[in-house]
Amino acid sequence: MLKFVEINQQNPKKRKVDNRVDDFKEIYDEFIHDKAKQQSSRCSQCGVPFCQVHCPLHNNIPDWLKLTAEGRIKEASELAHSTNNMPEICGRICPQDRLCEGNCVIEQSGHGTVTIGSVEKYITDTAWKKGWIKKIKVEKEIDQSIGIIGAGPAGLACAEELRKLGYQITVYDRYDRPGGLLIYGIPNFKLEKYVVERRTNLLKASGIKFEKNVEIGTYKSLKELRKKHDALLIATGVYKPREIDLPGNQLKNIFPAMDFLIASNRKGLGDKVEKFDNGMLNVENKNVVVIGGGDTAMDCVRTAIRQNAKSVKCIYRRDKQNMPGSIREVNNAEEEGVKFLWLSNPKKFIGSEKVSSLIVEKMQLGKPDSSGRKKPEIIPNSNFEIKIDIAIKALGFDPENIPNLFNEPDLAVSEWGTIKINMNSFQTSIPGVFAAGDIVRGASLVVWAIKDGRDAAVSIQKYLQSKKLSKIIAA
């Protein structure tokens, strides 16, 4: 270990731009065994590992790096799985620059971070290839059941943890495939679908039941589920697109980001998608503008490039240094030919029936606001016009009105509409109903959803044990 002085930082190679924009496959090559060992040996084995502190799951990073450096990949994989239900997914899509790697001590000392995410991916992908990842063997079945609403990472992590303990689990989802945004939001060039599917298939093989195409609130009520199960988890994510109130908003060919991404992901999965097949959501040969600067916007611009758009522009009101999206993804987008109009604000859509151009105004950064970020201000008389065929709005997401949708007025929500929970027990205002993931936090990250799902599982177990005990005492 401590080889960071002799060995330079090296990530797996990225595919060449010309080659990678021709398909939707992941863009990073895999580590070969020796490279993973070598890169892991750069870890300085800090007494207080800040990488671990800043990983939401508190993954035991220094220890699995040491095991990898010693070639003990099976043990490294077991250790990685002890705190994370999907290490290969986090290794691929966590914004490591803001989490573990951003806090690596050797990064701070100017040697370049240990490539933690790539090693995590290598360890777990190897474990899959070698057949070390097995379905759950339940030692003793427990006659209590949990209904989980939402098959995204929060719901799946909770389901897995509770199934390991022997509980009977049913996961309900309004979509036809489990995985939530891992399947229908995040494009293949960041996370190929087989990576998600092999996880969900393993959960099915482990005895977790999946009921698909079931929207709770429409086809089944929360009350029905409360009668059927001993406890419930709401892990429905956030999907209501944030709007911008611009003149011309009603024109055709202006879409929310998820319409575009779901259509593209479904096509990749081989589905029939009417709005894509009739050309509406297919941007081939079109001038595309994406409004927004987060990860969703980056996924949209890079999807548009792969659909062979004529031009792809991204409009963001701050500058590159102040973008909310991961800088790694912004750099990837720039390499792939996306043109960023920094410090720009959309002002007006123009067109007769369909949108044909967008008026944009220039911005400058003023004094920091209460959050500490410099506030964008309009530069007077700086308007300019860009010709577009399609506009995609990627301005973030808000929660749907869950108490309304579930017809449960007693379900308390915060002023932002996220579900209120007791932060210690993950329980909502309705006894026996828990909540986790984006629907509690607001739009966040996969790694936080997994963390919440795992923590909720611990609380649900406690709740169910005390419920059982009360029944025994009463009898």
Ligand X SMILES: Cc1cc2nc3c(=O)[nH]c(=O)nc-3n(C[C@H](O)[C@H](O)[C@H](O)COP(=O)(O)OP(=O)(O)OC[C@H]3O[C@@H](n4cnc5c(N)ncnc54)[C@H](O)[C@@H]3O)c2cc1C
Where do contacts with ligand SF4 occur on this chain (CB under 6 A)? 55, 57, 59, 61, 84, 90-91, 94, 96, 99-100, 116-117, 120, 447
Q: What is the smallest separation between the CB atom of 227 and ligand X, expressed in angstroms?
A: 17
- Residue 398: phi, psi to the nearest 5? -120, 160
Nearer to ligand X, 174 or 468 (CB): 174
Nearer to ligand X, 116 or 216 (CB): 216
Q: Which of 62, 91, 117, 217 binds ligand X (CB under 6 A)?
A: 217
On whether the CB atoms of residues 391 and 349 are closer than 8 A, the answer is yes
Q: Examine residue 174 and tell whether it contacts ligand X (CB under 6 A).
A: yes
Q: Which of 117, 150, 256, 376 binds ligand X (CB under 6 A)?
A: 150
SS3 state of residue 46: coil
Nearer to ligand X, 343 or 446 (CB): 446
Q: Report d(CA 373, CA 123) in Å as an integer.
A: 38
Write the binding mask 271 to 290 for ligand X: x where contact by CB under 6 A, - elsewhere: --------------------
E runs forming strands in 283-322: 287-291, 311-315
Q: Examine residue 332 and tell whether it contacts ligand X (CB under 6 A).
A: no
Nearest-5° angle of CA 358, CA 361, CA 365? Answer: 140
Nearer to ligand X, 71 or 268 (CB): 268
**Quick one: what does residue 248 bind among ligand X, ligand SF4, none, with the CB cut-off 5 to 8 Å set by partner type?**
none
**Quick one: what does residue 154 bind among ligand X, ligand SF4, none, with the CB cut-off 5 to 8 Å set by partner type?**
ligand X
Q: Report d(CA 157, CA 365) in Å as an integer.
A: 41
Query: Which of 185, 355, 160 minimizes the C-alpha distance to 262?
Result: 185
Query: Candidates 244-252, 274-282, 295-303, 371-379 — which segment interacts with ligand X by CB under 6 A?
Result: 295-303
Q: Examine residue 445 and tell whether it contacts ligand X (CB under 6 A).
A: yes
Write the binding mask 383 to 422 for ligand X: x where contact by CB under 6 A, - elsewhere: ----------------------x-----------------
Q: Report d(CA 361, CA 38) in Å as an integer.
A: 50
Q: Examine residue 147 and tell whether it contacts ligand X (CB under 6 A).
A: no
SS3 state of residue 365: strand
- Give the other-Cβ count within 10 Å of 194's Cβ: 10
On whether the CB atoms of residues 68 and 123 are closer than 8 A, the answer is yes
Q: Which of 67, 106, 447, 457 binds ligand X (CB under 6 A)?
A: 447
Q: Report d(CA 317, CA 346) in Å as an integer.
A: 9
**Quick one: what does residue 59 bind among ligand X, ligand SF4, none, with the CB cut-off 5 to 8 Å set by partner type?**
ligand SF4
SS3 state of residue 356: strand
Burial, 39: exposed, middle or buried (Cβ in 10 Å; 0-12, 13-18, 19+)?
buried
Nearer to ligand SF4, 64 or 276 (CB): 64
Nearer to ligand SF4, 90 or 171 (CB): 90
Q: Examine residue 94 and tell whether it contacts ligand X (CB under 6 A).
A: yes
Q: Examine residue 151 and tell whether it contacts ligand X (CB under 6 A).
A: yes
SS3 state of residue 423: coil
Q: How many residues does the chain have?
A: 475
Q: Examine residue 295 and tell whether it contacts ligand X (CB under 6 A).
A: yes
Q: What is the smallest separation between the CB atom of 447 and ligand SF4, expressed in angstroms?
A: 5
Q: Report d(CA 303, CA 267) in Å as an integer.
A: 12
Q: List the beta bridge partners of residue 315.
A: 291, 341
**Quick one: what does residue 389 bind among ligand X, ligand SF4, none, with the CB cut-off 5 to 8 Å set by partner type?**
none
Nearer to ligand X, 287 or 296 (CB): 296
Q: Report d(CA 234, CA 88) in Å as an integer.
A: 25
Q: What is the smallest separation between the CB atom of 149 and ligand X, expressed in angstroms?
A: 5
**Conformational region of residue 279, where left means phi above 0, alpha means psi within -120 to 50, and beta covers everything else:** left
Q: What is the smallest separation between the CB atom of 165 and ligand SF4, expressed in angstroms?
A: 23
Residues whose CB is less than 8 angstroms from the CB of residue 159 and which lie 6 or more positions away in sequence, other chains included: 146, 148, 169, 171, 203, 208, 453
Q: Examine residue 437 and tell whether it contacts ligand X (CB under 6 A).
A: yes
The pairing of strands 355-368 and 344-351 is antiparallel
Nearer to ligand X, 68 or 236 (CB): 236
Helix 73-83, helix 116-130: angle, nearest 10: 110
Q: What is the smallest separation between the CB atom of 186 and ligand SF4, expressed in angstroms?
A: 14
Nearer to ligand X, 300 or 355 (CB): 300
Q: Examine residue 221 and tell whether it contacts ligand X (CB under 6 A).
A: no
Nearer to ligand SF4, 5 or 53 (CB): 53
**CA atoms within 13 A of residue 256's CA, in its CB half-sphere:** 14
Q: Examine residue 299 and tell whether it contacts ligand X (CB under 6 A).
A: yes
Q: Report d(CA 273, CA 279) in Å as an integer.
A: 10
Residue whose tokens read 């409009």: 315
Residues at the interface with ligand X (CB under 6 A): 93-94, 149-155, 172-175, 180-181, 185-186, 190, 215-217, 235-237, 261, 295-296, 299, 405, 437-438, 444-447, 449
